[in-house]
C-alpha cells in the first residue's frame, strides 16, 4: 500500500528499488521559499547500508508491513541455525548468510527477534547485551585493574572480544552485541 511521504516516521519500513528499508530518521522541512520536502535516513535490512534520501511531499511510497517474531535459538548444524517459534512452536531454520554478525553472539536458548516482510526473513536481532564466559585468553596480570591495556579473549559463543588485562579464563563478562565491545566484568 502506498503512503504519503508526510506519513514517514522513524521505525516504519519502506520498499525502495525492490529492497526493504527501515526509516531511522525523518525530518519534515518547509523552507521559506519553495515546496516542502522530507529528508529521511534509511537503513537497508539486508546490507545494513545507510542511505539519505529527500522526497517531495507530492511523492508516495510503498510501505513495507514488517512482522516481528520472537524466536528461541535451539542449535546449529553446519551453516544452518535452528530456532523455535515461541507462539506456534514451529521449528524454523535460518542460513548463516541471513544471520549476519549475530551468529557471533548466539547462546543456547537465547530469545531473538526476527523481522519478516512478506513472510520472508529480513533480519535477526539479538539482545543488546549478553553475559558470556571467557574460554580462552592470555593469563591475567594480578593487580592491574587500570584501563591501561587490552588483550584478545574468546567468549563461549566463539566471538573474540578485547578485554582488560586483569580478565582471566573462566571470568564472566558483559558484551555489547552491536559492536562486540567489552562492557564490564560480571559476578555469576
Residue 38 · residue 52 · CB < 8 Å: no
Q: Are residues 94 and 72 in the same domain?
A: yes
Question: Which parts of the chain have pLDDT scores under 70?
Answer: 140-148
pLDDT value, residue 139: 77
Residues 60 and 71 in one domain: no
Query: pLDDT tens across 37-79, in order?
Result: 889 999 887 778 899 998 887 777 888 888 889 999 999 888 8
Picking from 74, 109, 125, the residue at the C-terminal end of a domain is 125
Same domain, 76 and 56: no
23 and 71 in a common domain = no
Q: What is the 3-state secondary structure of the chain?
A: CEEEHHHCCCCCEEEECCEEEEEEEEEEECCCCCCCEEEEEEEECCCCCEEEEEEECCCEEEEECEEEEEEEEEEEECCEEEEEECCCCCEEEEEHHHHHHHHHHCCCCCEEEEEEECCEEEEEECCCEEEEEEEEECCCCCCCCCCCCEEEEEECCCCEEEEECCCCCCCEEEEECCCCEEEEEECC
Q: 47 and 89 share a domain?
A: no
Find the domain containing 44 and state its range: 2-64
pLDDT at res. 73: 92
| The pLDDT of residue 125 | 87
- Among 42, 64, 86, which residue terminates a domain? 64
Backbone angles phi, psi at 67, to 5 degrees: -115, 130
Same domain, 71 and 102: yes
pTM of the model: 0.72
Q: How many structural domains does the chain have?
A: 3
Residues 150 and 118 in one domain: no
CATH number at residue 157: 2.40.50.140
The CATH number for 23's domain is: 2.30.30.30
Same domain, 103 and 150: no
pLDDT score, position 137:
86
Q: Cβ distance 50 to 43 under 8 Å?
A: yes
Given 36, 64, 92, the domain boundary residue is 64
Are residues 147 and 96 part of one domain?
no
Same domain (yes/no): 165, 119: no
Amino acid at each position: 500500500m502506498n503512503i504519503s511521504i508526510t506519513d514517514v516516521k522513524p521505525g516504519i519500513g519502506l520498499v525502495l528499488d525492490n529492497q526493504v528499508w527501515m526509516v531511522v530518521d525523518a525530518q519534515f522541512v518547509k523552507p521559506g521559499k519553495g515546496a516542502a520536502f522530507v529528508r529521511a535516513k534509511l537503513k537497508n535490512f539486508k546490507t545494513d547500508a545507510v542511505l539519505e534520501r529527500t522526497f517531495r511531499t507530492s511523492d508516495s511510497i510503498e510501505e513495507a508491513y514488517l512482522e516481528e517474531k520472537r524466536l528461541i535459538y535451539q542449535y546449529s548444524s553446519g551453516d544452518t541455525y535452528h530456532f523455535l517459534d515461541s507462539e506456534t512452536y514451529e521449528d524454523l531454520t535460518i542460513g548463516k548468510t541471513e544471520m549476519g554478525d549475530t551468529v557471533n553472539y548466539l547462546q543456547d536458548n537465547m530469545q531473538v527477534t526476527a523481522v519478516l516482510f512478506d513472510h520472508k526473513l529480513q533480519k535477526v536481532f539479538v539482545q543488546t547485551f549478553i553475559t558470556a564466559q571467557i574460554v580462552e585468553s592470555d593469563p591475567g596480570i594480578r593487580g592491574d585493574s587500570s584501563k591501561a591495556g587490552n588483550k584478545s579473549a574468546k567468549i563461549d559463543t566463539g566471538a573474540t572480544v578485547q578485554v582488560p588485562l586483569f580478565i582471566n579464563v573462566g571470568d564472566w563478562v558483559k558484551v555489547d552485541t552491536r559492536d562486540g565491545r567489552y562492557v564490564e566484568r560480571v559476578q555469576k
